[in-house]
Amino acid sequence: LKSTFLNVYSVLKSELLHDPAFEWSDDSRKLNRGLSVIDSYRLLKEGQTLNDDEIFQASALGWCIEWLQAYFLVLDDIMDNSHTRRGQPCWFRVPKVGIIAANDGVLLRNHIPRILKKHFRGKPYYVDLLDLFNEVEFQTAAGQMIDLITTLEGEKDLSKYTLSLHRRIVQFKTAYYSFYLPVACALLMAGENLDNHVEVKNVLVEMGTYFQVQDDYLDCYGDPDTIGKIGTDIEDFKCSWLVVKALELSNEQQKKVLYENYGKPEPANVAKVKALYNELNLKGVFVEYESTSYQKLVTSIEAHPSKAVQAVLKSFLAKIYKRQK
């Protein structure tokens, strides 16, 4: 599957580079989200063999999601003033790229409608696809806005950090495009109307929330060699699930430690926050959250009338349950 998916990239890349609307000169990877479209579509077809066209189309939609993700990350790194992404320098940190990276991000975003137009224009669900990508992009940008506003220099206020704020940021910024979008693409390809699958969307957004809580946990407790980055949520004053839980469980004295040390870059401040996390046994709190969330998700999935849809949702859950990276 993965090699087929990668071959489709070569076709799409070549089409974009030879796009008559743009004269390119010679100057000018995890893939989970993308591969999920083919996985989901295959499960929706309940064991029927997919033909070459179906594999190509599902892969093309998968690549559109990867392009969307690349566009978000290029711009996100500029906004966060980050240094590395998956062990490499951020794109805007590369010499001779700099702030040109902003336009590169916009170009990545614009590849999507061109791929959709070329390969899906004749499909009855073409407009639904365009609508879906636009809607999910808007939701992600809204999530990013809430995230950026809550971490503004000079306006840092831990008292704003609640579970409901964390949930809003996560659902908009991550859950829609990482979890709902691949399955929605597969449902459209299978001839389904997305309005009839609101429950599927809810389960996937819930799964995305659980995924982000894991991410917040791994930022502090994960092995940098395994997760591919050194966590900086504490230094960056992020509205992380850990700090929200810590605020909830702290007494006045412990809250004072958080208020005085959270969001400061010095290792001594970070160490005090981590020591408090240990004192509050946030590892144990997370393990409990993980098992409760998992049970709730399984129950919601098994309540779905379609076995094929259940299979899609269960395959997603299996990929992320108890992950280490």
Helical pair 52-80 and 2-17, crossing angle rounded to 10 deg = 70
- Give the residue numbers spanning the domain of 37: 1-320
Q: Dig out the tokens for 88 from the structure.
A: 């490499």
**pTM for the whole structure:** 0.87
Q: Is residue 7 part of a domain?
A: yes
List, for residues 47-56, the tens digit of each pLDDT value: 789 999 999 9
Q: Is residue 325 part of a domain?
A: no
Could you tell me the CATH number of the domain that includes residue 183? 1.10.600.10
Instruction: Tell me how many domains the chain contains.
Output: 1
List, for residues 156-193, the tens digit of each pLDDT value: 889 999 999 999 999 999 999 999 999 999 999 999 99
- Which one, of 117, 157, 151, lies nearest residue 133 by Cα? 117
Q: Maximum distance among all alpha carbons in the chain? A: 65
Q: Dig out the tokens for 131 from the structure.
A: 């609508």
Q: Is residue 260 part of a domain?
A: yes
Q: Is residue 295 part of a domain?
A: yes
Is pLDDT at 16 greater than 60 in this prediction? yes
Residues 232 and 147: beta-carbon distance below 8 Å: no
Is pLDDT at 233 greater than 50 in this prediction? yes
Q: Is residue 89 part of a domain?
A: yes
Q: Is residue 248 part of a domain?
A: yes
- How much of the chain, in percent, has pLDDT values that exceed 70? 96
Q: Is residue 184 part of a domain?
A: yes
Q: Dig out the tokens for 266 from the structure.
A: 């010095």
Strand-pairing partners, residue 84, are 89
